[in-house]
């Protein structure tokens, strides 16, 4: 193992333990890239007319939002790899599970964001799937919530693994505290997705247009993840200082 004191510091303050791109990381990157290709604006054919081109271009907002969501999980894994450089059994299994889930995740992701932009544009922007009943709406949010929760749980498990390995990795106090903050932050992501599922299941059979978006609005709670991460990191920093005193 490389001496931790000789590792260069990244901009986020972590020492770069994953300096070399492993075959696993390359595979994960390729899988995420492939998932993005499944989000192409049109799955049919190249538009044969200007009106068809304009109609296809209307899918850009949903495509951009879906792309950003996939990029978020890719960046979370890439950052984890660079910070800790873990290539053990648990890291491999969790990374492969993440790959499997993100490929499953593409379809509910595209449907949810397509439905969102269809809703806020009053039908001007297209949607890949029509929601005819409240049951369809419930199913969409439940499937999306399960996909988001399981993906977030993978990242949570990766950071929890790094936290348990903090002594082996020789994390300093700041690195360990920030790691604990990430554990808390991704734990909140899982909880929010599960809460959205509960809200979706609780939707009555007769709903107003604004109530229909309630399960999606639950995800605005993720805005507090940064505050939670900082608070938990500070708590961990104090705990670690007491343990080493």
User: Tokens 């068809």 label which residue?
Assistant: 52
pLDDT at 106: 87
Q: Which of 69, 149, 66 is nearest to 113 (CA)?
A: 66
pLDDT at 244: 59
pLDDT at 2: 47
pLDDT at 47: 72
Q: Check if the beta carbon of residue 27 is closer than 8 Å to that of residue 99.
A: yes
pTM as predicted: 0.89
How far from 189 is each of 3, 45, 85, 149, CA to CA, in Å?
34, 37, 24, 7
Q: Check if the beta carbon of residue 62 is closer than 8 Å to that of residue 116.
A: yes
φ/ψ region of 78 (left if φ > 0, alpha if ψ in -120 to 50, else beta) reads alpha
Which segments of the chain are extended strands (E)?
A: none
How far from 118 is each of 113, 127, 130, CA to CA, in Å?
8, 6, 10
Q: What is the pLDDT along the chain (245 residues), one digit of tens a residue?
A: 445 556 778 877 788 887 777 888 999 999 999 998 887 755 556 777 888 788 778 888 888 999 999 999 999 999 999 999 888 899 999 999 999 999 988 888 888 998 889 888 888 888 888 888 889 999 999 999 999 999 999 999 999 999 999 999 999 989 999 999 999 999 999 999 999 999 999 999 888 877 888 999 999 999 999 999 999 999 998 888 766 55
3-state secondary structure of 154: helix
The sign one gets for the Cα dihedral 14, 18, 19, 24 is: negative
pLDDT at 238: 87
Whole-angstrom Cα distance, residue 78 to residue 21?
10
């Amino acid at each position: 193992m490389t001496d931790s004191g000789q590792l260069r510091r990244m901009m986020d303050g972590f020492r770069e333990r994953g300096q070399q791109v492993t075959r696993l990381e390359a595979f994960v990157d390729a899988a995420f890239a492939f998932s993005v290709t499944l989000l192409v604006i049109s799955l049919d054919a190249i538009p044969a007319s200007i009106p068809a081109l304009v109609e296809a271009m209307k899918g850009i907002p949903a495509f951009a939002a879906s792309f950003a969501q996939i990029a978020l999980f890719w960046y979370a894994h890439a950052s984890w790899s660079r910070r800790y450089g873990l290539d053990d059994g648990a890291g491999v299994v969790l990374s492969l599970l993440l790959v499997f889930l993100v490929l499953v995740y593409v379809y509910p992701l595209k449907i949810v964001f397509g439905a969102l932009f269809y809703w806020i544009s009053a039908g001007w922007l297209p949607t890949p799937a029509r929601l005819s009943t409240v049951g369809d709406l419930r199913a969409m949010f439940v499937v999306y919530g399960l996909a988001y929760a399981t993906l977030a749980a993978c990242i949570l498990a990766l950071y929890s693994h790094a936290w348990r390995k903090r002594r082996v990795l020789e994390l300093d106090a700041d690195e360990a505290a920030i790691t604990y903050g990430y554990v808390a932050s991704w734990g909140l992501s899982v909880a929010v997705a599960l809460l959205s599922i509960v809200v979706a299941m609780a939707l009555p059979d007769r709903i107003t247009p604004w109530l229909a978006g309630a399960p999606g609005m639950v995800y605005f709670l993720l805005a507090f993840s940064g505050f939670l991460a900082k608070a938990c990191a500070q708590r961990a920093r104090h705990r670690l200082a007491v343990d080493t005193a």
